[in-house]
Amino acid sequence: MAHHRSGSNFLNDLLQAHPRIECINEPLSMHTRYFRECDLEPWTGDDFDPVLLHRSLASHEILRAFLFDFRAYLSQSSDTRVIGFKDTIFFEKLEWLKAFIPSLKILFLRREPRSIVSSVLRTKLLELWDYARLVPPAFRKVRPNYVSQVDPADQAAAAAELVAMSIVTRHEFARRAIQNFDHIEVHLDDLMRRPGEQLEAVAEFLDVPPHDGPLTFLQQRQEMSRGGMFSSFRVQEDVRNAWERHLNPAQLQAIEDVLRCQ
Amino acid sequence: MPVSPDLECDRDHAISFVARPHGTSRGRHIRVARTLVTCATAARVLNQIGMPPEAQSAYRHVNVHNPHCPLFFSADERAWACPAALENHPVWGINWAGASLICQHLGGRLPSQQEWECFASNNDPSRTYPWGEAPATHLLANFGEHFGGTSAVGSFPASELGLYDLAGNLSEWCHDHLATAGAQPSPCERVVKGGAWSKDAHYLEIAMSRGKWERLGTTTIGFRPVWDDS
C-alpha cells in the first residue's frame, strides 16, 4: 500500500524479483473503475457483507465476482509462495478490507511528501485520480482546523496544497486502521540508502528466505534513468531530490502548512 | 499504418512447425502466428464477434479501466477501436479468457507452455534465448524499459523460424494453468512466457515461466495464436 507516486511500481517489481513472491499490480484501482470513483469514501468493518460484500456493490455483479475471485487468488498464498498485490487506494477502506480478507498483511511504503507532490504534479495525475473532487472534503474531515494560506490565483501552489492534503488524508486513514493488520512500514529513501537491511526486514515480514534477486534488481534499476512515466529505472538523484528542482517556494510553503496542521 | 501483409496474424501467414518436445521423433504439427496479435487485429475480431462494450465497473475481457488501454469502445462508431499510432503494436489489456476468445475466432487457440518453448527454441531445449546464447540487447528485443512501452510488431529480428517478439515486447498467455513443483496446478493462474518491455533480461529466457492471475488484462501480457495442422 502506498500513496500515488511513492515508488510502489518500483517496490512491486522489486518484490517480484524474489522467486517466492508474486505481487499483482493495482488490481483494485486499474482493473475496476469503481474504486477510483469512490476513492476516500470510508468503508468500515461493519459495512462488510459476506454476500454483497458492501451494500453499494449490490448492483455490481461482475465486480463482486471479480472481488471473490481476487480473494480466492490471494488465498493461494502458502509457505512456498507469497501472493499479494500493490495498490494506491483503500487507505480509508482498511477496516472493510480486514473483514473481507482477514489474513492480509500490509507493507506500507512511504516517501518524502515533497517528492510525492512533485511527482504527482509532473505526471499530471490530479485529473485521473480526481483529486479536486475527492480530496478536499475528505481532508476537512481529518483536519477540520486547516485554513489555507494559498493565494487562490496561484494555481501551482493550490495544486501542491491539494496533493499534500491527499497525503495527509490517506496517511491519517492508514494510521487509524493499520494496527488491525500484521504490518510493516518501509520508507523509499531507506530502501535506497540501506537496501540490504531493508530487504532483510521485508523478507522476514513476508516470511520468505532472503534472496539476492531483489538486491540485484534494485542495483540494476539505479544504474540509469530510462523508460516511461512509470519506469523503475531511476538513479537515486532523480528519485530523492527532484522535488528541489520542481517545487517553487510558494508550493513548498503550501505543503508545509498542510503537513503541520493537526 | 497497416501491418505488412506478411505479418498478418492469421493461419495463412502463420509458420508451419512441428513441435518436438524433448527431442521426441513424433511431433505435433501446428502453425504459429508470426507476430503477437496487434491492436488493430484485436479490435477487428472483437467487432466481428459482436463484443459489447465493457460497461460494468469490472471488465470481462478487455481492461478498459486502465486509462492507457489501447483498445476502447467508440460510442460514436459503436465499435471497438484503437489509436492509429498503436494499430501495429501488440495488444495488451486483454485477460486470458479474452485472449482465448480472440484466438478461437481466428480459428486457432493459445499455445501450450510446451509448444511455446518448442517454437521459441526451434526444438532445441538447450537454447537460452530465441536467438541463441548471446546476451539480450535492445537491438534484439524490447525489454528493460529501453523503449518505455510496446513497439510495433516486426521491429526486432525474427527468429530463424520467422517468428517475431518471442522475447520481449509483451509476455504471452499460454493455455496451461501454472504448475509448481509438488503442488496442484493453480486453478486461477495461467503461464506467461517471453518477457516484456518493462521486464529484465532473465524474463526473456525461453525456460522462464511466470504464473499470472487469469482475470487480469495487464500492461505487459499479449498473446499469439497457434493453429493445429492436420
DSSP string, A10-32: HHHHHHHTSTTEEEEE-TTTSSB
What topology does CATH give the domain B5-228? Answer: paralog of FGE (formylglycine-generating enzyme) (3.90.1580)
Q: In the predicted model, what is the mean pLDDT of chain A? A: 95
**Chain segment A179-220, per-residue pLDDT in tens:** 999 999 999 999 999 999 999 999 999 999 999 999 999 998
Rounded to whole angstroms, the Cα distance separating B156 from B167 reads 10
Residues of B with CB under 8 A from a CB of A: 56-60, 63, 65-67, 144-149, 180, 183, 186, 188-189, 198, 200, 210-213, 215-219
Beta carbons of A62 and B60 less than 8 Å apart: yes
Q: What is the mean pLDDT of residues A20-31?
A: 95
Reported as half-sphere exposure (CB side, CA atoms, 13 A), residue A129 has a value of 21
Q: What is residue A262's predicted lDDT score, i.e. its pLDDT?
A: 87
> Cβ–Cβ of A69/B183 closer than 8 Å?
no
Cα(A241)–Cα(A250) distance, rounded to whole angstroms? 18
Judge contact between B43 and B82, C-beta under 8 A. yes
Pairwise CB contact (< 8 Å): B146 & A25: no
Name the minimum distance, in Å, from the CA of B177 to any CA of chain A.
Answer: 13
Res B5: pLDDT:
66
CB contact, 8 Å: A85 with chain B? no
* Model confidence pLDDT, tens digit, residues A102-120: 999 999 999 999 999 999 9
Q: What is the pLDDT of residue A225?
A: 87
Rounded CA gap, A216 and A222, in Å?
Answer: 10
- At A227, the pLDDT band (50, 70, 90 cuts) reads confident
What confidence score (pLDDT) does residue B49 get? Answer: 96
Instruction: Give pLDDT, residue B46.
Output: 97
For domain A8-260, the CATH architecture is 3-Layer(aba) Sandwich (3.40)
* Residue A242 Cα, gap to closest chain B Cα (Å): 20
Task: Give dist(CA B221, CA B197) in Å, integer.
Answer: 10
Q: Is the pLDDT of residue A147 over 90?
A: yes
Report the gap between the CA of A13 and the closest CA in chain B (Å). 9
| Residue B3 clears pLDDT 70, i.e. is over it | no
Joined grid coordinates for residue A233: 529505472
Predicted local distance difference test score (pLDDT) of residue A124? 83
Query: Tell me, what's the pLDDT at B1?
Result: 55
pLDDT score for B7: 73
d(CA A144, CA A131): 18
What's the mean pLDDT in A134-153? Answer: 97
Q: Is the dihedral of CA A186, A192, A198, A200 positive or negative?
A: positive
| A–B CB contacts, 8 A cutoff, strictly below | 81
For β-strands B79-81 and B72-74, DSSP reports them as: antiparallel
Confidence of residue A226 (pLDDT cuts 50, 70, 90): confident
- Compute φ and ψ for B174, nearest 5 degrees: -110, 170
More confident residue, A198 or A231: A198
Residues in chain B closer than 8 A to A31 (CB atoms): 58-59, 63, 65-66, 215-217
Q: Which residue of B has its CA nearest to A13?
A: B199
Q: How many CB atoms lie within 10 A of CB B146?
A: 18
- Please check the confidence at residue B104 and state whether its pLDDT lies above 90: yes
Q: Say what the ipTM of the complex is.
A: 0.92
Which tens digit of pLDDT belongs to each residue from B115-130? 999 999 999 999 999 9
Query: Model confidence over B142-200: pLDDT tens digits?
Result: 999 999 999 999 999 999 999 999 999 999 999 999 887 777 788 899 999 999 999 99
Percentage, residues of chain B above pLDDT 90? 87
User: Across residues A32-55, what is the average pLDDT?
Assistant: 97
The pLDDT-based confidence of B53 (bands split at 50, 70, 90) is: very high
**Each residue of B131-144: pLDDT tens digit?**
999 999 999 999 99
Residue A240, pLDDT score: 78
Domain ranges (residues) in chain B? 5-228
